[in-house]
Structure formats: C-alpha cells, structure tokens
C-alpha cells in the first residue's frame, strides 16, 4: 500500500476520495461475488426434494429470484451514483486556486510554468512541480506534440494533455512530501521515462523556492566555471536550452537555470549527480534511446569544466 | 504464396526505411565539420564532398529533419520552404548546388547575405537529417519516405480543434 506512486496511499483529498471509492467498490463487489458463489454451490449440492414442484416451494423460489434482482439493481444504481458524485466532486474546483501552474507536455519531459503578471517572474521548472500544502493548485495542461497524460496517483486521477486543447484540473496535497508522477498515455519511445516529482511543502518554503527560481544563473566565478560556460555557449547545448541570465535562450529542451538544484535529470530517469550529468551529456541515447538530445562528444577537460559550470546552476 | 512473399519483401524494405539507429548516434554526432576559415566570412566555393546523405531513404531521418527545421528556426528565414528573408527551398533553383554534400556545406559553413554557419552547433547526424528534409522539399527523396505537409499549411483548421476553439474542456478520463 505504501510507495511514492501508489493510488492506495493517498496524500490529498481527491486521491482520498478515489481510494475510498475503490475500497467500497472492492468490498461490495467481493460480498456480491461470495454470495453468488455460495448460492451457486448451494444449488449444485442441494438434493432435489419431492416437494419441489409444490406451489409453496415455487412461490418461495420466485420471491428469492425477484429479491436478488432487486438487490442487484439497488447495488448497481448505488455504485453508479456514488461514482458519478465522487467524479463531479473531483473535477470541479471549489473556490479559488491560489496557485495556477501551466503543465506543458513534450516528448518526453514535462514543463511546469508558474504564471505571473510580470513576464520576468514567470518560472519554468522542468520535471519538478512544487506546490504549497493544504491549498488547491490549478493545473492547466497542454501538449506541444502528441497526447500525454498527467498522473500523480497519490494526489489525483489522470488528466490528458491534448495538442490544441487546454485541459484543466486541480490537485491538493494535505501533507508535505515528495510524490512521483508519470505520463499515463503512451506517447512514443520513451513514454516509460517520462516521470516527474511533486514536492509539496509549507507555504513559506514554497514561496522561498519560487523566489529562488525567479533568480537567474550566477555568473562564473572562476576560470574553470568560465571555461564550462564557454563550452556551453559555444557548442550544441545553446541551440536547445535556456539558462536565464546568460545568452542561452532556446526553448526546445528543458530550462537549465536551476538544473543542479532539481532531484532528477532526464524526466525522472536518473537522480541528479555529477556522474549522471556526465553520462547524460556525453551519450543521452545510451540512457534514454530515442530522446531528442543528441550525443555530445567532447574532450575530457571540456566535459569536466562543463560539469563544474552546470553544478553552479542550483 | 507469391502475394505473401511480396508482402513480406515489402515489409522488410519498409522496416529499413523506418529504422531508427539510436545506438549509432554517438558516432554519427562527431562534428567532423572542421575549423571556420575566419570569424566572419561565409564558406568557400561550394564543394560536393561526394557523400550520399545517410538519411536519403529514411522516413525517420526526414521527419526528424522536418522537426529540426522548425526547432533550429530555419523557418525563420526560409518559411516552410517557400522562402522569405532567405531563398525558397522548394523550387528547382539552387544557388549553391543541390547535391546532399552541397546542402550540407551550406548549413555547416553558412552562405553570403545572411545564412549563418551552424558549424559545431549542430551534430553531424542532425545536419544530414536537415539535408534529407531539404531534399524532400523538391522531391529528391522517395515519395514513400517524405514527411507529409503540416496541418497548419492546410486550407482548413485541423478537425480536432474545430469544435473546441476558445472553450476549455473539463471532461475527465
């Protein structure tokens, strides 16, 4: 029942409703199943008596059948109604949403964009969604290529990301923690490696995280970092990635302004570490075949300098 | 029997055209593009290196080229092949040659009057994917591998967005 990605281990009101509904369905259906099997066994093993054709027995059996049909109808209607009521309660947001996040799906990673009326304060947090605890968070989901599906089993059900259409939902985490999410609609080669983490934290921690994300990257402070910076800006990296505060501003790949501060790289594929970054930069196709990042053969000295620079991007 | 054989043969050939050599990309991304001749000048006379494009027959390579054409903002000057700031790519007029090697050199070295040099900015195999796509625009590649025309170039809106424009969906899965 445990685990960071189990719908049976709910951490929010909606996932809680879904889990309750699941258990009720399972319980009721199990009872009905046991009753039907018992009745069948009784019918098989019961001896046929001489009085079976008497009007009293026939009437008694007919009442039994009518009663069973009635109970079946009542149970089915009750389950349907409870399912619809729970579903409506989950989808329609009640009251205001203090935080609204745009979720943008790409093959094969996620972009979480925090809205702001000031364009320079819009925050991009690829593959890591931070939310404040205890308040509804609005999700506005679109896709840039194919259909994806946003699913954090411990917080809510699935919601598809459809090209050309904005879908919406809201989620809420009741206690701080790290929850794992996963694309739930087959979207190509690396569908299985399209994961993300949801970090739920108290409101003040969330606000300080947001304020930190709004800051650009620090300038290189020594020769090694400067060399790494130059490798980044002079090579293929700059064609696809953004590092705010520098001249790198492409929007094809994930924003790397705070890449070393995130828990995972490559959409939940590897935990962030210098070694994993090195393997990923040099040959991403060996780790996640088919992803859109090209391999980057480079000299060892250049690679080490680049890693040193990337590690300053916290 | 003959039909089954024919279908099998065709399937095998079709597989070849769709194969995606992800494992080989590391070798293919070595940037054997040389050093720039000067910080400013565009490349020298157009030389066809005599190499065939490795993605000439590849449906995957061409469609990747099509994606990169927009991603790397080739479309910023060449539009969707019809040209604009830069020359059109879908006509039969080639200033610097139409052979795959010519197109490769134009991308890597840049050309006078505004075409930037992408030397060491784009890995080798992606340059070849772009070459394959540019060739497909003038019908130089097999028609069964060439990517289709994009939805936004069609005279009507894609069916999937028509009924929903300006409306938020709340249906759930």
Q: Which CATH superfamily is domain A223-311 in?
A: Cupredoxins -  blue copper proteins (2.60.40.420)
Question: Which DSSP category does A271 fall into?
Answer: E
Q: Read off the tokens for A56.
A: 């009293």
Exposed/middle/buried for residue A137 (C-beta within 10 Å: 0-12, 13-18, 19+):
buried
φ, ψ dihedrals at A130, nearest 5° = -100, 135
Q: Which residues of chain A does B161 touch, with a Cβ-Cβ cutoff of 8 Å?
A: 164-165
pLDDT band at A61 (very low <50, low <70, confident <90, very high): confident
Decide which of A58 and A24 is more confident.
A24
**Do residue A252 and residue B31 have CB atoms under 8 angstroms apart?**
no
**Do residue A294 and residue B160 have CB atoms under 8 angstroms apart?**
no
User: Does A283 contact chain B (CB < 8 Å)?
Assistant: yes
Cα distance between residue B142 and residue B125, in whole Å: 19
Portion of chain A with pLDDT greater than 90, in percent: 79
Q: Which residues of chain A does B29 touch, with a Cβ-Cβ cutoff of 8 Å?
A: 294-297
- What is the count of residue pairs from A and B with beta carbons less than 8 Å apart? 72
Question: Tell me, what's the pLDDT at A50?
Answer: 74
pLDDT band at B167 (very low <50, low <70, confident <90, very high): very low
φ, ψ dihedrals at A110, nearest 5° = -120, 145
Residue A184 contacts by C-beta under 8 Å, 6 or more apart in sequence? A149, A150, A151, A158
- A236-290 tens-digit pLDDT: 999 999 999 999 999 999 999 999 999 999 999 999 999 999 999 999 999 999 9
In CATH, what number does A99-214 get?
Answer: 2.60.40.420
Chain A nearest C-alpha distance from B103 (Å): 20
Look at residue B90 and tell me whether its pLDDT is greater than 80: yes
Residue B54 contacts by C-beta under 8 Å, 6 or more apart in sequence? B28, B61, B125, B128
Question: Tell me, what's the pLDDT at B106?
Answer: 92
Look at residue A146 and tell me whether its pLDDT is greater than 80: yes
Question: Tell me, what's the pLDDT at B172?
Answer: 46
Look at residue A299 and tell me whether its pLDDT is greater than 70: yes
Q: Which residues of chain B does A168 touch, with a Cβ-Cβ cutoff of 8 Å?
A: 168-170
pLDDT band at A92 (very low <50, low <70, confident <90, very high): low
Closest residue to B170, CB basis, from A91, A235, A285: A91
Q: Cβ(A314)–Cβ(A258) under 8 Å?
A: yes
Neighbours of A231 (CB within 10 A): 23
Within a 13 Å sphere around the CA of A294, how many CA atoms are in the beta-carbon half?
A: 28
Q: Given the structure tokens 């009085």, which residue do they identify? A: A51
Q: Read off the tokens for B17.
A: 């055209």
Q: Which CATH superfamily is domain B57-145 in?
A: Cytochrome c-like domain (1.10.760.10)
Q: Which residues of chain B does A157 touch, with a Cβ-Cβ cutoff of 8 Å?
A: 172-173
Q: What is the mean pLDDT of residues B51-73?
A: 89
Nearest Cα neighbor of B164 from A198, A241, A148, A163 is A163
pLDDT band at A98 (very low <50, low <70, confident <90, very high): confident
Portion of chain A with pLDDT greater than 70, in percent: 98
φ, ψ dihedrals at B90, nearest 5° = -105, 5
DSSP output for B32-59: -----SSSSPPP-S-----PPPTTTT-H
pLDDT band at B153 (very low <50, low <70, confident <90, very high): confident
Q: What are the boundaries of each domain within chain B?
A: 57-145
Nearest CA in chain B to A233: B121
Cα distance between residue B130 and residue B107, in whole Å: 9
Portion of chain B with pLDDT greater than 70, in percent: 73
**Do residue A239 and residue B25 have CB atoms under 8 angstroms apart?**
no
Question: Which DSSP category does B162 fall into?
Answer: G
Question: Tell me, what's the pLDDT at B146?
Answer: 87
Scan residues 75-114 of A and list those with Cβ closer than 8 Å to B: 87, 90-92
Handedness of CA A264, A268, A271, A272 (dihedral sign): negative
**Do residue B71 and residue A252 have CB atoms under 8 angstroms apart?**
yes
Residue B86 contacts by C-beta under 8 Å, 6 or more apart in sequence? B77, B78, B114, B115
Look at residue B40 and tell me whether its pLDDT is greater than 60: no
**Do residue B122 and residue A166 have CB atoms under 8 angstroms apart?**
no
Q: Read off the tokens for A192.
A: 């299985």
Exposed/middle/buried for residue A34 (C-beta within 10 Å: 0-12, 13-18, 19+):
exposed
pLDDT band at B165 (very low <50, low <70, confident <90, very high): very low
Q: Cβ(A103)–Cβ(A141) under 8 Å?
A: yes
Question: Tell me, what's the pLDDT at B13?
Answer: 65
Nearest Cα neighbor of A268 from A191, A177, A193 is A193
- A113-122 tens-digit pLDDT: 998 888 888 9
Cα distance between residue B122 and residue B120, in whole Å: 6
Look at residue A132 and tell me whether its pLDDT is greater than 70: yes
Cα distance between residue B160 and residue B96, in whole Å: 41
Look at residue B45 and tell me whether its pLDDT is greater than 60: no
Q: Could you write out the three-class secondary structure of A96-117?
A: CCCEEEEEEEECCEEEEEECCC
Residue A58 CA to its chain's centroid (Å):
57
Question: Tell me, what's the pLDDT at A183?
Answer: 96
Question: Tell me, what's the pLDDT at A306?
Answer: 96
Please state the ipTM of this predicted complex: 0.81
User: Does A28 contact chain B (CB < 8 Å)?
Assistant: no
**Do residue A236 and residue B121 have CB atoms under 8 angstroms apart?**
yes
Q: Which residues of chain B does A294 touch, with a Cβ-Cβ cutoff of 8 Å?
A: 25, 29, 123, 125-126
- B118-140 tens-digit pLDDT: 988 899 899 999 999 999 998 88
Look at residue B157 and tell me whether its pLDDT is greater than 90: no
- A175-224 tens-digit pLDDT: 999 999 999 999 999 999 999 999 999 999 999 999 999 999 999 999 99
């Amino acid at each position: 029942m445990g685990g960071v990605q189990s719908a049976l281990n709910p951490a929010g009101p909606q996932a809680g409703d879904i889990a309750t509904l699941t258990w009720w369905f399972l319980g009721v259906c199990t009872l009905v199943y046991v009753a039907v099997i018992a009745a069948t066994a009784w019918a098989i093993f019961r001896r046929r008596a001489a009085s079976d054709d008497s009007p009293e027995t026939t009437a008694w059996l007919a009442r039994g059948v009518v009663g069973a049909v009635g109970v079946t109808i009542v149970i089915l209607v009750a389950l349907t109604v409870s399912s619809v009521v729970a579903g409506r309660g989950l989808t329609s947001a009640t009251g205001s949403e203090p935080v609204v996040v745009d979720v943008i799906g790409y093959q094969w990673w996620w972009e979480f964009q925090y809205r702001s009326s000031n364009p320079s304060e819009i925050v991009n947090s690829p593959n890591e969604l931070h939310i404040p605890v205890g308040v509804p968070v609005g999700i506005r989901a679109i896709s840039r290529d194919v259909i994806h599906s946003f699913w954090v089993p411990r917080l809510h059900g699935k919601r598809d990301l459809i090209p050309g259409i904005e879908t919406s939902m809201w989620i809420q985490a009741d206690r701080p923690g790290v929850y794992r999410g996963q694309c739930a609609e087959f979207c190509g080669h690396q569908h299985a490696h399209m994961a993300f983490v949801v970090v739920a934290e108290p409101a003040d921690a969330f606000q300080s995280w947001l304020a930190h994300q709004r800051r650009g990257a620090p300038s290189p402070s020594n020769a090694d970092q400067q060399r790494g910076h130059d490798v980044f800006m002079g090579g293929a990296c700059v064609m696809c990635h953004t590092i705010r505060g520098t001249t790198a501003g492409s929007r094809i790949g994930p924003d790397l302004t705070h890449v070393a501060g995130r828990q995972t790289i490559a959409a939940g594929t590897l935990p962030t570490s210098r070694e994993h970054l090195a393997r990923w930069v040099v040959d991403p196709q060996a780790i996640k075949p088919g992803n859109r990042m090209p391999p980057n053969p480079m000299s060892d000295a250049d690679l080490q300098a680049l890693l040193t620079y990337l590690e300053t991007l916290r | 029997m003959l039909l089954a054989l024919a279908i099998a043969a065709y399937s095998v050939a079709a597989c070849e055209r769709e194969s995606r050599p992800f494992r080989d990309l590391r070798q293919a991304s070595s940037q054997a593009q040389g050093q720039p001749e000067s910080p400013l000048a565009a490349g020298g006379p157009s030389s066809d290196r005599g190499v065939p494009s490795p993605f000439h027959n590849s449906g995957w390579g061409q469609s990747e080229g099509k994606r990169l054409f927009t991603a790397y903002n080739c479309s910023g000057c060449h539009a969707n092949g019809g040209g604009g700031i830069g020359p059109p790519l879908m006509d039969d007029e080639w200033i610097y040659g139409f052979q795959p090697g010519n197109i490769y050199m134009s991308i890597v070295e840049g050309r006078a009057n505004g075409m930037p040099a992408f030397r060491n900015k784009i890995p080798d195999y992606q340059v070849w994917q772009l070459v394959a796509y540019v060739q497909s625009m003038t019908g130089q590649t097999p028609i069964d591998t060439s990517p289709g025309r994009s939805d936004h170039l069609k005279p009507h809106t894609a069916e999937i967005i028509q009924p929903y424009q300006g409306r938020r969906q709340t249906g759930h899965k």
